[in-house]
Amino acid sequence: MKITVDTNVLVRAAVQDDKKQARQAAKVLKDAALVAVPLPVLCEFVWVLNRGYQKSSVEIADAIRRLMNCANVVMNRPGVEAGLSILEAGGDFADGITAHEGNWLGAEELVSFDKQAVSILQSQGHRARLLSE
């Protein structure tokens, strides 16, 4: 079977806080011929692990990389790497995804009121501009 995984399945598999659901999540992920992981699911996954479970950026990045290394998992790997790059620099995974997607869609620059996002993106060689408040 080829499946698209929802955030809650990934969370159960990663945090193991509900043993029954964790077993079900692990089984469906293992048994699937293909597990599609959409970028919005990963953005939610990062947010839930960080805010809900107080996991560190290192722990979250490790969980995503383990998922990426599963033979049956497919995802937008360049997008995920862009998100991980910002996450590992102390920023928001979703900001990396946003910049990557914008660039892919033809944008030349990210504009934001988020000082941290703009600073990290600029430090990594991306065009980003801070709008004044």
1 has pLDDT over 80:
yes
pLDDT digits (tens, 9 = 90+) for 108-119: 999 999 999 999
CA-nearest of 84, 37, 29, 81 to 58 is 84
Which pLDDT score is estimated for 132?
Answer: 87
Average pLDDT over residues 99-126: 96
Which pLDDT score is estimated for 34?
Answer: 98
CA distance 57 to 51: 11
Average pLDDT over residues 21-28: 97
CA distance 96 to 93: 5
pLDDT digits (tens, 9 = 90+) for 73-89: 999 999 999 999 999 99
Do 85 and 97 form a contact (C-beta atoms < 8 A)?
A: no
Return the sign of the alpha-carbon dihedral for residues 115, 126, 86, 52. positive
Q: Give the global pTM.
A: 0.92
133 has pLDDT over 90:
no
Share of the chain above pLDDT 90, in %: 98
